[in-house]
Every structure is written in C-alpha cells, then in structure tokens.
Chain A
Amino acid sequence: EQQVQQSPASLVLQEAENAELQCSFSIFTNQVQWFYQRPGGRLVSLLYNPSGTKQSGRLTSTTVIKERRSSLHISSSQITDSGTYLCAMEPHTNKVVFGTGTRLQVLP
C-alpha cells in the first residue's frame, strides 16, 4: 500500500520560532506537494516540490527523492500559521496520496 508518513503529528511553537515538518514516502516519487488546512477549512496548496529545495516566502521545502522524504521549514512562525500541514505524493498520474498531517499551533 502506498503510504505517506508525517511527523510530528502535532507541534506547538511560540510566535517567531521556526518549525520543521517531515514527510516520508513508502515509494520513490518525484511528485511532492505540501498543503495547508485551516481548522474546519479547505486545503490550499502551498508548494509543489518534485526535488531539491524550493522556497515561497517564509516556507522552504526540501525533497530528497533517493531517500524518499520531504521537509517543510516554516521560518519566523506567526499565529496565523496555525493549522494542519499535509504532505502529498503522486504515485501515478491523476492520483494523489495524502499523509495524515502535522497539526501546528503557534502561541503568542
């Protein structure tokens, strides 16, 4: 079964601290996406990162295909960053498999 594991399951930070979220895959994949979900809300795509390092604002993703993993670094966290971050891979065309997510809480 194709699986995506995420760690940690939950994370609590003080505002301005950095966060590191990890994702590992059961298969080799070069199609990795990170999504964000506000509590009770819809998923929104953050980054598409097939390999290497990609940055968008305070978000930096690093994907290492041969190690079957990807990470998401959030710098200088803000209270509005609170929510769930989901990693997803595409094992084959038109199908996306999601991890169970990391729930992030940023405190003032």
Chain B
Amino acid sequence: EAAVTQSPRNKVAVTGGKVTLSCNQTNNHNNMYWYRQDTGHGLRLIHYSYGAGSTEKGDIPDGYKASRPSQENFSLILELATPSQTSVYFCASGGTGQDTQYFGPGTRLLVL
C-alpha cells in the first residue's frame, strides 16, 4: 500500500498570512497532486507535478503555488491566505488509469 502523509493535519491561519502544506510519499511515484475538497464542489485539482522540479497548474491554481523539491515531497503554498481558502486539502501520488492515485489523510485549513 502506497504511503502518503501530510502535515500539518489541522491548521488555523490569519488572513494575509503565509501557509505551507507539506506532503510526503514513500513509493517513488513520479506524479503528485494537490486537491481541495469543498461541499458541493467535490475534489478540485489545484496543482500537480510529474517529478522533482516540475509543477503544473490544475483547474483552480489562483492563489496557490506548488513546490516539488524531491521525488518524495510536494508542498502547497498559500502566500497570502484568504478566508475563501478555508477547506480540506488532499495530497495524492500515483498516476491515472490503472495506476491509481493514493491519497493522504488530508489537512483541514481554517483561514480567519
């Protein structure tokens, strides 16, 4: 079973502050993904990466940056957090099709 961990699990931030969400995977997957999950919207793709050093914009990248410094680590950065970014964020690694995605446990972010 692929192991994907996220930190922190819960975060309270202030409007305008910087937030960094971290993700680590131990199965040597090339692809990693950041999603947010909101009631009524399901999971929406923010950024993804094909490997170390690469980041790609997903469907809702505005207000977010991503960083992939190594095969194992993928970070999501909110430079200026806003209340609209209050959500549950999930990281995943793996692929598509038969190479399914393995998800982390999620990070609950509250921006006040």
Chain A residues close to B by CB (< 8 Å):
4, 31, 33, 40-45, 48, 50, 86, 90, 93-101
Contact = CB atoms under 8 A, between A and B. Distances in A.
B96 A95 contact: yes
Interface string B75-104: 000000000000000101001111011111
Interface of B: 4, 31, 33, 35, 40-45, 48, 50, 58, 90, 92, 95-98, 100-106
A48 B105 contact: no
Contact of A42 (B31, B33, B40, B104): B104
A86 B48 contact: no
A45 B43 contact: no
7 contacts: A31-B96, A41-B106, A42-B4, A43-B92, A44-B103, A45-B101, A99-B42
Contacts of A4: 42
B103 A94 contact: no
